[in-house]
């Protein structure tokens, strides 16, 4: 039975039961947080490293001759030096589709809030605008009825497919765009062809060379001024500065993001500064995935990864 170490258990949040992982290994050491330097010490005797966001670079991996498996408590693998892991015969496994219900729910929350201009109307109510209105309601910001509108989805994996299924309940028309960078070999229409008619764009794709700043200044200039843009994928898929400029100038109808290029954004970010402005803007702290059900599912899927790996040895 292998010895395993969790480097950043705190990233799973409170009240998560690790029993499934404990049953899959001989011994489980749990650390709430770890730096890369601490990881080198804490993994010295480990067969399995279980990690969410701690960086395991080439220098670290070459100092861990006993390590045979890295289990990532997430889908993204950008914190692991995969080339070095392969070179040192270390298997790497991630978890996918653990939070489909959680993230799709969050995506719809952003979409609905932007469509109804919730950030702006909530601000006005808090400022006393409704209380002093000459009329029984406020109508200063035009809302968007989703029925009959065009939703363009970038990413047709399990998450994008589920979001598409849910929005059909609102009567939206959904079209999936071709994979960015592979349009010539994809039967689906290219994003550029879909852009002028899109009422909402929802992003559910990984960050890569092909998707970095996929939504940029040039594409925003070709979109409807009323376009709602939602990013629950990765920071940087949108050129956030260009999107903010478009929002401020009335060339974008609404912007909702759950991700930023650097997380946590310790040095700040223009979108965070703009939250004090009267814009149809929502920024959530990368927490689309955090329902207790989704977080517990990560543990179950990680335990399955360990058991499958053991069975293949």
Q: Which position among 87, 263, 277, 308 bears the catalytic label?
A: 263
- Rounded to an integer, what distance in angstroms lies between the CA atom of residue 98 and that of residue 31? 22
Q: Which among 312, 260, 305, 252 is positioned nearest to 281, based on CA atoms?
A: 252
The residues near 176 (Cβ < 8 Å, ≥ 6 apart) are 152, 153, 154, 155, 156, 160, 164, 188
Helix 100-115 to helix 292-312 angle, to the nearest 10 degrees?
A: 150
Is the previous residue joined to 212 through a cis bond, with omega within 30 degrees of 0? no
To which residue do tokens 């730096």 refer?
35
Is 234 marked active-site?
yes
Is 286 marked active-site?
yes
Q: What angle do CA 74, 79, 85 make, to 5 degrees?
A: 100
The residues near 243 (Cβ < 8 Å, ≥ 6 apart) are 215, 220, 229, 252, 255
Q: Which position among 219, 234, 269, 295 bears the catalytic label?
A: 234
Q: How crowded is residue 127: how many other Cβ atoms within 10 Å of its Cβ?
A: 11
Q: How crowded is residue 177: how many other Cβ atoms within 10 Å of its Cβ?
A: 26
- Rounded to an integer, what distance in angstroms lies between the CA atom of residue 244 and that of residue 255? 8
DSSP string covering 258-294, please?
A: S--SSSS-TT--HHHHGGGSSSSEEE--S-TT-SHHH
DSSP string covering 61-126, please?
A: HTT-TT--EEEESSS--TTB-HHHHHHTT-EEE---STTHHHHHHHHHHHHHHHHTTHHHHHHHHH
Is 217 marked active-site?
no
- Rounded to an integer, what distance in angstroms lies between the CA atom of residue 160 and that of residue 203? 8
Catalytic residues: 234, 263, 286
């Amino acid at each position: 039975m292998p010895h395993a170490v969790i480097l950043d258990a705190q990233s799973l949040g409170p009240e998560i039961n690790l029993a499934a992982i404990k049953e899959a290994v001989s011994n489980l050491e749990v650390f709430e947080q770890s730096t890369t330097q601490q990881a080198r010490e804490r993994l010295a005797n480990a067969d399995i490293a279980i990690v969410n966001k701690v960086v395991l670079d080439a220098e670290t991996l070459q100092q861990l001759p006993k390590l045979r498996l890295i289990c990532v408590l997430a889908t993204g693998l950008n914190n692991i030096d995969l080339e070095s892991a392969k070179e040192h015969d270390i298997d790497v496994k991630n978890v996918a589709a653990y939070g489909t219900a959680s993230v799709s729910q969050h995506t719809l929350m952003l979409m609905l809030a932007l469509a109804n201009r919730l950030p702006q109307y909530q601000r006005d109510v808090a400022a006393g605008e409704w209380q002093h209105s000459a009329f029984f309601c406020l109508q200063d910001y035009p809302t968007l009825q989703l029925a009959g509108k065009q939703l363009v989805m970038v990413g047709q994996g399990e998450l994008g497919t589920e979001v598409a299924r849910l929005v059909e309940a609102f009567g939206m028309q959904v079209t999936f765009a071709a994979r960015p960078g592979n349009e010539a070999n994809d039967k689906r229409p290219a994003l550029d062809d879909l852009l002028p008619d899109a009422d909402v764009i929802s992003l559910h794709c990984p960050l890569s060379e092909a998707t970095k700043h996929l939504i940029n200044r040039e594409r925003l200039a070709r979109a409807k001024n009323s376009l709602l843009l939602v990013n629950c994928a990765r920071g940087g898929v949108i050129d956030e500065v260009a999107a903010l400029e478009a929002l401020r100038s009335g060339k974008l109808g609404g912007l909702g993001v759950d991700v930023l290029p650097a997380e946590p954004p310790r040095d700040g970010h223009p979108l965070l500064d703009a939250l004090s402005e009267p814009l149809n803007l929502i920024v959530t702290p990368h927490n689309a995935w955090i329902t207790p059900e989704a977080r517990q599912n990560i543990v179950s899927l990680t335990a399955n990864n360990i058991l499958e790996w053991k069975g293949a040895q």
